[in-house]
Chain A
């Protein structure tokens, strides 16, 4: 395999392009994905290669976009629906929650809905409350939808290819701050199974379970703590549903301490589910300290830079929380 450094954004584009070359049933649909190249430039150049029918610009109609993807998927095509900002999925919710997710079960297993919902998520861009959310918890609670939130260019490419080939609706979260991050990615097509958490850093003293933007932050925090003699293990679930609980439980059983980190608000967030999974597992007997969560504050994302940073966990917050957890009960 030929591996080179590309950005997360380029990895997403490469996954889509390679799948569209391989399978004529795959197409991209969304607002400004064509001539404009996508609001964040993810689909830049794709219109030229694949044409306007398969790189399909739409009216500003998020419900109809979701419906168009759902209906085409019901017919056996493999649409990739791009929503400009994850926040706008609120307008698509009826289609996604009541149609895409339910049709298969509701119709007795006699159809499938193979579609991907690509959703730029997260804060840190100064876009304020309606362009910064991470809404994974809503979707995780809906049977019938899978939810993936990869943190590296390598994972993004391999998991998007898997998501496109999956026979179910897959919500694919792309944190906007990750788009420009670079990493090694093979040129060739490859797929990563969804239900496969990865240990991004080995450590003995405590585990941080982090996904999406929290992974690079946790890794940076781990470097800082290593200088203090605290060895942090960072586990990235990559896919939130289906969830590879085994890798998470194994890590927590090894370190005896776990900090769960995510950007979305702490109350009702996915961290609660992770905590319950760990508490109910064999790792419980190995816990030397209470399971700890570090997540977004229960506020809409504010505009002001200082307020925005303070609304979600930053590297220094992870350092402080992990340090305190490492020392707890010692």
Chain B
């Protein structure tokens, strides 16, 4: 698959336009996502987590680069591999870790877990575990924004596998027909569990599908946080100005297996190792130091602060009490 690279001049423009604090924010979130995932894996291996998890190690640029374009009041809806979006949208790390650990103090009071973290108050309208299941819901969220004449927009995330679901087709068509304020973002890690995209669609890029809905479609280097930022920002402006949705295909790679049951039988270690050389965090650090926006010490300080924040969050969350099964049935329905 060919990946269009961000033009040198565009990168330079972004690096000069974006405030240093913003760039530091992006790097910090990417590092937090990486350390959160590694901590999650570690807790799992040590038997402290009940259930499964879907790690996005290697995919940090997609969630951070896109959410960095948003205003604080904007909204996201995402999917089972959603730790990255949640952190990028500004989740409290301890509350998030508590949810991962199934604690009452977690975002969903231990009812949702890794696959369903939502921070409604923070504009994170939740992760759906059914592939593509969040896409139709995002039509309704964006419809409500439009009907209320809001200037907020929604980023709707799904994976490459989801783009083969009927719900994808129905939803992109509807959102396009109604010019809804939503940006559809495909976190294209190239595998739907074990199936490589090339085996399950007869086109090169998911973004080509945009043509059938009469909306712009772009494939971007999903391991380049600035490339993602640039593409999504353009799509945001279109959505916010009433011109309707876009489809952004962020080409990336997950280093870990699909979930904990994965033995990587469908890909080679060489392939995984090759993608590790394209690590989005290391790349972004290099960009920042090369442009002399930060020194290596400064990027390292951000990195270590992120690690410490995750360690603190986990340490604290582990001490939280378990939820009680009492009155569980009373919570199913709203009064």
Contacts and interface: CB of A to CB of B under 8 A. Distances in A.
Contact of A79 (B140, B142, B329): B140
Interface string A61-101: 11110111111111111010000000000000011001100
B331 A73 contact: no
Contacts of B139: 64, 67-68, 71
Contacts of A66: 136
A59 B174 contact: yes
Contacts of B332: 104-105, 143-144
Q: Of B134, B137, B140, B173, which is in contact with the most chain A CB atoms at under 10 Å from its CB?
A: B140
Nearest to B110: A108
Contacts of A79: 140
B145 interface: yes
Contacts of B106: 108
Interface residues of B, number: 45
Interface string B86-120: 00000000000000000000111111100010101
Given A107-B112, A146-B333, A99 B118 contact: no
Nearest to A167: B334
Contacts of B334: 104, 109, 112-114, 167-168
B170 interface: yes
A108 B173 contact: no
B47 interface: no
B108 A68 contact: no
Q: Which secondary structure characterizes the binding site on chain B?
A: helix
B177 interface: yes
A73 to B, nearest CB: 7
Contact of A73 (B138, B140, B170, B333): B140
B133 A98 contact: yes
Interface string B25-44: 00000000000000000000
A68 B174 contact: yes
Interface string B129-169: 11001111111111111011000000000000000001100
A176 to B, nearest CB: 25
Given A67-B138, A75-B140, A110-B120, A105 B111 contact: yes
A177 interface: no
A268 B173 CA distance: 37
B133 A94 contact: yes
Contacts of A70: 136-137, 140
A111 interface: yes
B112 A106 contact: yes
A30 B148 CA distance: 19
A304 interface: no
Contacts of B121: 110
Contacts of A106: 108, 111-112, 116, 118, 126
A67 B140 contact: yes
B171 interface: yes
Contact of A109 (B109, B125, B148, B166): B109
B193 to A, nearest CB: 18
Nearest to A98: B130
A139 B48 CA distance: 35
A68 B111 contact: no
Contacts, number: 147
B209 to A, nearest CB: 15
Given A95-B137, A104-B332, A105-B332, A71 B118 contact: no
A179 interface: no
A287 interface: no
A103 interface: yes
A64 B173 contact: yes
B108 A108 contact: yes
Contact of A61 (B109, B110, B174): B174
Contact of A71 (B137, B170, B333): B137
B7 interface: no
A112 B118 CA distance: 13
Contacts of A67: 135-140, 167, 170-171
A95 B126 contact: no
A72 B143 CA distance: 6
A329 B106 CA distance: 59
A316 interface: no
B300 to A, nearest CB: 37
B312 to A, nearest CB: 23
B29 to A, nearest CB: 22
A53 interface: yes
A317 to B, nearest CB: 36
Given A98-B128, A107-B120, A68 B133 contact: no
A141 interface: no
A229 to B, nearest CB: 45
B137 A99 contact: yes
Contacts of A58: 174
Contacts of A144: 332-333
Nearest to A115: B140
5 contacts: A71-B142, A75-B145, A77-B147, A95-B167, A168-B334
